[in-house]
């Protein structure tokens, strides 16, 4: 890790990576708990462990490949991808906060998965169903975490480690809570997390893309803090605009 990187970069990198990863880990945990409790833990945990091994290999390979690409190109491409990803999350979180689309319900997802697992027959020997289900969900959610870590960490020298640490901390926290509770983390304020993570990722994406096209930000790295505040203000304003629109709907369509 490059020790010269400032807190202005490392702090938001750890936070963005931690919060984004915790959302994905909670979604994976819901399915793994459902599969494990119905089909048994051996197949479920083996499937997740296998997927984690594949993902770690992917991170190592991609991380090494990224080192060979010029930094401005990485910043340009990663910035654009991060903006597509972050603004998509932020838009969805805004629409959820405004009540225009329903909130994600982990408890309902858990029940659906339990029902789906019970439809398969009984377990004889090695449980392929449990293995495949947990491998798939860990790969799906883990791929998102890998992208977040690489996107947040690839924009600057020495940022991959703080971003990785943030994601690893999220994984540990979710595993610990999963072991302690043995049920889905239904009380996690997922939309609030997604709202804040969308703001952080959009700010990072704008900063990296600007750096990639050779833009000099006022205040250098501290411009990230300004971008976070600005995106937060725009997002809150948009929630209020959408709520107003929704309340106009109610008035317009009422008989």
Partner 1 sequence: MRWIGTIFREIFGLFVDDGSFAITILVWLGVTRLLLPRLDVFSRWSGLILFAGLGLVLVESAVRYARGRQTTLDKQGPKSASHS
**Angle, nearest 10°, between helix axes 7-39 and 190-212?**
140
| Contact call for residues 90 and 198 (beta carbons, < 8 A) | yes
**What is the phi-psi region of residue 99: left when phi exceeds 0, alpha when psi lies from -120 to 50, beta otherwise?**
left
Can you read off the two tokens belonging to residue 126?
Answer: 């090695």
CA distance 161 to 152: 10
| Contact call for residues 210 and 58 (beta carbons, < 8 A) | no
Q: Which of residues 183-212 bind partner 1 (CB under 8 A)?
A: 202, 206, 209-210
Q: For partner 1, which stretch binds (CB under 8 A), given 3-11, 141-149, 156-164, 177-185? A: 141-149
- The reply on whether position 213 binds partner 1 by CB under 8 A is yes
Give the x-and-dash track for 85-124 against partner 1 (CB under 8 A): x-xx-xxx-xx--x-x------------------------
- The reply on whether position 246 binds partner 1 by CB under 8 A is yes
| Contact call for residues 114 and 35 (beta carbons, < 8 A) | no
Residue 191 CB, shortest distance to partner 1, in Å, is 14
CA distance 83 to 196: 14
Residue 234 CB, shortest distance to partner 1, in Å, is 4
Q: Which residues bind partner 1 (CB under 8 A)?
A: 76, 80-81, 83-85, 87-88, 90-92, 94-95, 98, 100, 132, 135-136, 139-140, 143-144, 147, 202, 206, 209-210, 213-218, 223, 227, 230-231, 234-235, 237-238, 241-242, 245-246, 248-250, 252-255
């Amino acid at each position: 890790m490059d020790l010269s990187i400032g807190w202005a970069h490392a702090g938001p990198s750890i936070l963005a990576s931690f919060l984004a990863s915790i959302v994905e880990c909670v979604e994976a945990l819901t399915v793994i708990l459902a599969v494990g409790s119905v089909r048994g833990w051996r197949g479920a945990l083996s499937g997740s462990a296998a997927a984690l091994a594949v993902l770690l290999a992917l991170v190592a390979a991609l991380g090494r490949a990224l080192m060979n690409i010029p930094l401005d190109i990485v910043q340009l491409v990663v910035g654009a991808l991060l903006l597509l990803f972050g603004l998509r999350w932020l838009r969805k979180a805004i629409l959820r906060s405004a009540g225009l689309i329903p909130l994600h319900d982990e408890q309902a997802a858990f029940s659906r998965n339990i029902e789906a697992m019970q439809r398969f027959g009984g377990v004889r020997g090695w449980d392929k169903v449990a293995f495949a289900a947990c491998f798939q969900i860990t790969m799906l959610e883990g791929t998102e975490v890998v992208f977040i870590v690489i996107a947040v960490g690839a924009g600057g020298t020495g940022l991959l480690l703080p971003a990785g640490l943030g994601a690893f901390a999220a994984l540990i926290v979710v595993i610990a809570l999963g072991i302690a509770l043995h049920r889905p983390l239904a009380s996690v304020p997922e939309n609030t997390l997604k709202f804040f993570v969308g703001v952080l990722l959009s700010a990072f994406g704008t900063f990296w893309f600007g750096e990639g096209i050779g833009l000099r930000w006022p205040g250098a790295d501290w411009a990230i803090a300004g971008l976070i505040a600005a995106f937060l203000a725009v997002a809150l304003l948009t929630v209020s605009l959408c709520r107003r629109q929704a309340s106009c709907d109610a008035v317009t369509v009422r008989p």
